[in-house]
Amino acid sequence: MTQRLGKNLNGYHGETIDIRSVLREIETAAPAYGWTSEIFHTHGDLDWVALHRPARITDHALRKRIHISAGIHGDEPAGPLAALKLIQDDLWPGNVEIFLLPCLNPLGFLRNQRANADGIDLNRDYRNPQSTETRRHIAWLERQPRFDLYLCLHEDWEAHGFYLYETNPDERTPLAEIMIAAVAPVCPVDGSEIIEGRPAQGGIIRPKISLQERPDWPEAFYHITHKARQGYTLEAPSDFPLPVRVSALVTAVNAAVNSLMAR
């Protein structure tokens, strides 16, 4: 099994990416695979893009919509790379409609830092947004239909392996175990009983979320409140090689999408 690199002490010290070139690759690849793109924010030469891939089968009873976002933390390169690979692999079932936001924090990536250029953690900014990036993302979300599922792609530099958060208040068929089982052959799973201060089991955290008590909403809280009743925050372990982390995220997304569409 893949060994930890031992590089990440007190923060992320692993590989970095040139976000401009990754975003260029994404914007070049997307139309070739039938995606349209909308720019919902710009800063200098950087674009915040929302990609949309319509369902190929237009039976409305079967169609499901999924919001996939990545790159909200600028020191987590696996997310935008996973977005690129998902586009290039093009393994989507016919009746799924995907909304893919490959990088929510390009300015963080320019600095290899978690926060945006003003030091705001965008993933704590979804209740009373202070950042332009989050305001623009929410303004874009308000123009979209509801989703059947959201997936937020992240990394954790402290993790011993892959893990995920499940939010599923209506107790729909869970997708957590399916994702963990799919990821296990490609990336170690964090078996810790406590992860990020929360009880975990087999790489799955099912947090008791108190939306109203928490002032600093992550993106997931916005989705649960406004857009979708089931979703997952996926955390790839930064202390493993970057291709392993990308593969873990891609594998988890494919497993979730296929399982959702099969039920």
Q: Encode burial over 162-175: b for 16+ CB neighbours within 10 A, e otherwise.
A: bbbbbbbeeeeeeb
Please identify, using beta-carbon distances, which residue of 76 and 148 lies nearer to Zn ion: 76
Q: Which is nearer to Zn ion, 15 or 88 (CB)?
A: 15
12: its two tokens: 């992320």
CB of 121 to Zn ion, least distance (A): 9
Distance CA 206, CA 73 (A): 22
- We find the least distance from the C-beta atom of residue 173 to Zn ion, in angstroms, to be 26
- To Zn ion, the closest distance from the beta carbon of 134 in angstroms equals 14
Question: Of 136 and 154, which has the nearer Cβ to Zn ion?
Answer: 154
Give the per-residue SS3 of 148-213. CEEEEEEEECCCCCEEEEEECCCCCCCCHHHHHHHHCCCCCECCCCEECCEECECCEECCCCCCCC
- By DSSP bridging, strand 64-70 and strand 198-199 are unpaired
Residue placing its CB nearer to Zn ion in the complex, 188 or 237 = 237
Contacts with Zn ion, residue ranges (CB under 5 A): 73, 76, 154
Angstrom distance (rounded) from CA 193 to CA 244: 23
Nearer to Zn ion, 35 or 161 (CB): 161
Burial, 192: exposed, middle or buried (Cβ in 10 Å; 0-12, 13-18, 19+)? middle
